[in-house]
Amino acid sequence: MIDVLFALVLLALVGAVVLLFAMFGELTARLPTLDIGYLDPTVTPLREARLGSAPDYWPEQLAPLLDANDGSALLLVLSTACGSCENVAEQLTNEIDQQSSIDTGVVVSCGDRRLGENFIERHGLDGMPTYVDEGGEWVIASFGVQTSPSALAIRHWRLESAAVFTDVVALRAATTDIEEVAA
Amino acid sequence: MLDDFVFALLDNAASLKPSASTFQNVWGLASVNGVASSLAFVAGISKLAAPVQSLRALHELFRNRRLATTGLVRLYAAVEVAASIVLLLAAVRMIGAILIGVLGVCFASLGLVGAARKSRVSCGCLGHRSGRPLGAANVVAGFALMLVLPLNGSLEFRASSTENYSQAALLTAALASLALCLWIHRRVAIVLLLPTARQAKATPS
């Protein structure tokens, strides 16, 4: 019996070593996102956006997101040529495990499709609904939006509100406040 | 422990199965179960600590992201850890074998879905962010785990050997888990150790 207990204790110690390594590996993977720096929490309404507009079509990469959320979603418009957008993408990778992004999609505006795909892969955004918008054509034609990073709140398949932001947490808080007021 | 096995062999010589000895049954089964258990043990603990990558892989496969949450991934990981330990204890070995078999079905199923949908996101099965996407490797691992149930069902050993089984299985699982963990994180060890080794060579003593 003592031998079995000793072997159990040994297994528990090995379990602790495995746990330490797993935490160490996760911390190492998160290192690039720990040095993001100061984030401006201001969320400013985006005046150029055509509120109430609905796109002529929804890309197949984004349609399931809206189907799953009754025509509602938060679309984040990022650009491969925008430094703040790199910052926002880093914040999103940390957010994925917190389930905050369950109704969020990302539209990556870029000059060349390969740049957009590289952006998505680099930031590990392929676990979210993402759409590579070459030349930003879809976002401009559908919502009149040419600014990034920006957030488009879609309700019942139409653009309800749009904002410019740099802090994802502040954006989430602002979105929650709007929803509570509407309710 | 060795003398216990010898006495067990002498005591039970008349009632041994014609195809396998008590000694081989216990050690062979303990080794196989220990290795199978180590896979589930390391995978479970790693996912409990770092479920993010597994979550990403599941979100890539399943459009409805409410089907995969951090809580569910951690619950699955807890079942893996529990199954791995139960398999190592003689009294509840068969329950552990059933749980491991079910886990094998889950692995293989996710591997098939990943292969069919050409998954590109690292599966995070062992907790780390770099690794293969869900695919053929998971199907093979799943089938291997499924074999644990019929193997345990077909082999028996005497009641007097239960303590030896538990001890042997626990030790095998501990060693295999340690080896697997070091293998998974070998890059960290290489990066940390190699510059030191190079420096030691360059500096005359």
Instruction: Decide if A161 contacts A51 (C-beta within 8 A).
Output: yes
Is the pLDDT confidence value at A75 over 80?
yes
Whole-model pTM over 0.90: no
A19 inside 8 A of chain B by CB: yes
Please report residues of B whose CB lies closer than 8 A to that of A8: 170
Q: What is the pLDDT of residue A97?
A: 52
- Annotate B43-98 with DSSP letters as a single string: HHHHHHH--HHHHHHHHHH-SSGGGS-HHHHHHHHHHHHHHHHHHTSGGGHHHHHH
Q: What is the pLDDT of residue B205?
A: 46
pLDDT digit string (tens) for B32-85? Answer: 999 999 999 999 999 998 888 888 788 777 766 667 788 888 999 999 999 999
Q: What is the pLDDT of residue B192?
A: 72
CA neighbor of B180 nearest in space, from B71, B80, B41, B53:
B41
A97 inside 8 A of chain B by CB: yes
Cα A154 to chain centroid, rounded: 15
Q: What is the pLDDT of residue B203?
A: 47
Mean pLDDT across the stretch A74-87? 90
Split chain B (205 residues) into runs of 10 and give each run's mean pLDDT: 54 45 72 93 92 81 73 92 94 93 93 86 74 84 92 72 82 93 81 61 47
Is the pLDDT confidence value at A179 over 70?
no
What per-residue string of b and e applies to B122-139 under the rule 16 or more CB within 10 Å gives b? bbbbbbbbebebbbebbb
Look up the ipTM and state it.
0.73
pLDDT digit string (tens) for A3-29? Answer: 888 888 999 999 999 998 888 877 776
Instruction: Select the residue of A8, A10, A126 nearest B120 (Cβ to Cβ).
Output: A126
Q: What is the C-alpha separation between A93 and A128, in angstroms, rounded?
A: 10
Q: What is the pLDDT of residue A169?
A: 79
The DSSP symbol for B153 reads: H
**What is chain B's percent helix, strand, coil content, to nearest 5?**
80, 0, 20
Q: What is the pLDDT of residue A116?
A: 92
- Chosen from B47, B160, B181, B191 to mutate, greatest number of chain A CBs within 10 A: B181
Q: What is the C-alpha separation between B166 and A12, in angstroms, rounded?
A: 15
**CB–CB of B177 and A124 under 8 A?**
no
CA neighbor of B120 nearest in space, from A126, A92, A114, A106:
A126
Q: What is the pLDDT of residue B202?
A: 47
pLDDT digit string (tens) for A120-177? Answer: 888 878 778 899 999 999 999 999 999 999 999 999 999 999 999 888 878 887 776 5
**Those residues with Cβ within 8 angstroms of residue B40's Cβ, 6 or more apart along the chain or in another chain:** B80, B81, B83, B84, B87, B100, B103, B145
